[in-house]
Structures are given as structure tokens and as C-alpha cells.
Structure 1
Amino acid sequence: MQRRTPAPRAAGRPRSAAADTAILAATRQALVELGWSKLTLGDVATRAGVAKTTLYRRWAGKNELVVDAVAELFDELRLPDCGTLAADIEGVVLRFAALLEHPEAKTALMALIAESTTDATLRTRIRASIVDRQKLLVLEGRARAQRRGELPTESDPEAAARTADLIFDVIAGAVVHRALVSAEPIDPEWTQAFTTLLLNGLTPSARA
């Protein structure tokens, strides 16, 4: 996936990529150790070794900072080309599950979900910075499967977009629920069974 594009900034001293990386890493570390309610920009600045004003020049507040810290983790997800649609799905599911095993990813994502239930602006930022970007993986996977002849090409762009949304919701919802809510393992056996159900649907052959 493409990397996130930093927000425009006024002319002046160039923005430091190293500082950004340190700040986002410190944010995730602080979430694990302190939780959402106790996390402050001052603490993050101390951990990152930067001035507090440096954070405020980049992020308006804690919500924006935490979303970008989580988005950076999910930007590392890739859709492997394993030769078939089924193998591609299994590959990305296992990679997603492995990401969620890291304490910083698990804690940060759960904190964002909890906080966003009462904050519409935060929900909008999560959709724009995390969800919409990860949906690109679905579009990439479908296009690859269509080139292989595994899936038909859809002529209606709006219908194709709705289908992509649904596929993303099914995969992300299942993986997040199993990993973070049910706390059950996402191993190759479960992943294969899930992929079979996803590709076949609730048909008699899938239930057999």
C-alpha cells in the first residue's frame, strides 16, 4: 500500500521524518503502558525526545496523534501474491492476525474503537486514515483475481465499490472479533476454513 501523505505545512524548517517516526512509536508505547485516559502529549514528547511544541506543530491533539500512530502500523500490511485468490486471502488474514498480536497494535486499536463510540469526529478520522486505506487491499486483490480469470470483471463501478466494502467488512470484522474479542487463535486451519466460507458463501457445498 502507498504510504500516508503528511498534511501540508507552512514554509520553514523541513519536517523531520525521524522525529515523526519517534513520536508515533512513543505514542503506541505510551498507550500500552498508560492507556488512553492517561496518555498526554507531554508524555509522548518526553518519550520521543522532542519538544512538546514539535507535537503541536504536527498534530492538533491526542485523537489525531493516536490515529496516525495506529495508521502507521496498518500501512505495513501488504497483500501477498500467492498465485490464487484463496491463497492471497489466507496470506493477508494471517498477516493481519500477526499484526494484532503485537501489544501496541492491539491496545491502540481497542483504545481507538472505544473512544470513537462517543466521538463522531474521531470515527471520521479513523475511516479516512485507516479503514479507507486498508480497503485498497481489497481492490488490489480483486483486480489481481480478475486478471487471473478467477473473478468476473464488474462493469458498474458503484456496484464494485459496494462489493469491495462488504468484502472488507467481512474479513476485517471476522479477524478483529476473533483476535481481540473472542481471543481465539487465528491459525492456518481456521484461516483456510474462513477463506472457504468467504469464497463459497452459505451454499450447500460449503455446509457439507
Structure 2
Amino acid sequence: MQSRIPASRATGGRPRNAAADTAILAATREALVDLGWSKLTLGDVATRAGVAKTTLYRRWAGKNELVVDAVAELFDELRLPDRGSLAADIEGVVLQFAAILARPEAKSGLMAVVAESTRDDALRERIRASIVDRQKRLVLEGRARALTRGELPPEPDPATATRTIDLIFDVVAGAVVHRTLVSAEQADEDWVRDFTRLLLHGLTPLGGARGGANRPPQNPAGSV
């Protein structure tokens, strides 16, 4: 995969070397696995990547920014599968997302930079631009496909559509991150199926979704 140039380092100075960027980001993920975030240093990453330490400083302001971009590349691997229905498509991408979060480099890197961003506004904005905003493409693609299939009604108001896309992303990402990184529970196929049913159909009995998320929700008398 071609490395994305960090926005804060993309202008001015000498031309970027894509091969060096790729090696540096790969070395960063390797160091996260071997050392964890707390022991990772730019010197160690430079040695692993076979570049001078000054090469890293020309591209990234520090360790946090480097780790954000290294983790962002992992999330760029996400693809929305075409499995024939909105529910099945959501299940497919959520399972991919959970699998990425289970990787030690994603787990340690993401948790560390999110914690650091609580006192660093620039870092929080970098996370938003490099990870959050880039992955909203999946919601846009999924909604467009569902509209084409006739599974969702069109949004008459563009502003409402934008808020809906933001909310869908927040709900999906928040639930999966909490399940896998905060609660340290597995997001297996059963959990993903139940989550997808809840996302699409609301607070109907979970038993109604067993046997396939595409089944219409059951609403027996007396249920919520």
C-alpha cells in the first residue's frame, strides 16, 4: 500500500521519498509490537527502517504523530464488502474492523495516542483527520449502496444526511472500540450479528435476529 503523506509535513523542503515513508511506518508498527508505545523511540524506528533519525524528524514532529500515521495505514485496509444486503455488508466491515483492533500494533498505538490527545489539541485533530474522517468513506459507500438497493430512504436534506453519516460512524466505531479495547471482549460473529440488528432495527428482542441479521425484527405483544 502506498504511504499517505502526513499533512503537516507535505509541503516545503526536499521531495518526499515514498519508499522511506513506507519503511518508517512499517518499522513503527513492528516496534509497537515488540516494545509497546511507552518504550518506542524514534531512534529505534530509524534503525529498524534503515534511515537516519533526522529523516523521521523532517516528516513527523514526534512519536505521537508518527504512531497516528502508522496506525492510520492499518485502518486504510478496511473495505466494505458487497455481500448482497446492508446488514451483511455491515457485518463484514465490522468483523474486519474488530480484527484490526485485535492486532497489538493497532491496540497499543491507538489507545496511547488517544490518551495523549486528551491534552494535545493538535494531536486530536490529527487523529480525526488521519483516521476518523478518512474512514467515514465506508459509511458513505454503504449508504450509497443501500440507497441503490432500495434498502434505505433518501435523505431530502444534505445537512441531515451529513449528521446521519457522522452519527452512524460514531455508533459503529464507538461500539467496536469499546467492546474490543475497553471491555477487552471479543467481537465475534454472534456479537457482530446482534450489534448489526440493533443498529438497523432498534430495541427489539435479540432472539429475533438469531439465524441471520437480515430477518425482520420480531415484535411480540408486550415487547419494547
Please, what TM-score do these two structures have when normalized by structure 1? 0.91
Does the CA contact (< 8 Å) of 1:31 and 1:39 recur in 2?
yes
String of CA shifts for 1:36-90, please: whole Å, max 9, x gaps.
Answer: 3432222211111101111122222222211111111111111111110000000
Q: Residue type of the partner of 1:143? A: A
Map of 1:184 onto structure 2 = 185
CA distance in 2, matches of 1:142, 1:82: 14
Distance 1:129 1:97, change over 3 A: same
Map of 1:170 onto structure 2 = 171
Counterparts of 1:52-63 in structure 2, within 5 Å, are 52-63=53-64
Map of 2:71 onto structure 1 = 70
Map of 1:133 onto structure 2 = 134
Does the CA contact (< 8 Å) of 1:200 and 1:206 recur in 2?
no
Map of 1:143 onto structure 2 = 144
Moved more, 2-11 or 62-71: 2-11
Map of 2:92 onto structure 1 = 91
Does the CA contact (< 8 Å) of 1:67 and 1:112 recur in 2?
yes
Does the CA contact (< 8 Å) of 2:6 and 2:69 recur in 1?
no
Please, what TM-score do these two structures have when normalized by structure 2? 0.84
Structure with bigger RCO (C-alpha 8 Å, 6+ apart) = 1
CA distance in 1, matches of 2:162, 2:147: 15
Q: Residue type of the partner of 1:72? A: E
Alignment gaps of 5+ in structure 1: none
Map of 1:195 onto structure 2 = 196
1:200 CA drift (Å):
0.5
Map of 1:18 onto structure 2 = 19
Rg bigger for which structure? 2
Alignment gaps of 5+ in structure 2: 206-216
CA distance in 2, matches of 1:131, 1:175: 14
Map of 2:39 onto structure 1 = 38
SS of the residue 1:42 aligns to:
helix
Alignment RMSD, CA only?
2.0
Map of 2:118 onto structure 1 = 117
1:5 CA drift (Å):
5.0
SS of the residue 2:155 aligns to:
coil
CA distance in 1, matches of 2:53, 2:3: 25
Q: Residue type of the partner of 2:94? A: V
CA distance in 1, matches of 2:204, 2:185: 26
Distance 1:84 1:5, change over 3 A: farther
Does the CA contact (< 8 Å) of 2:23 and 2:49 recur in 1?
yes
Q: Residue type of the partner of 1:162? A: R
Q: Residue type of the partner of 1:185? A: Q
**Matched residues, number:** 206
Q: Residue type of the partner of 1:60? A: A
CA distance in 1, matches of 2:197, 2:4: 33
Does the CA contact (< 8 Å) of 1:79 and 1:141 recur in 2?
yes
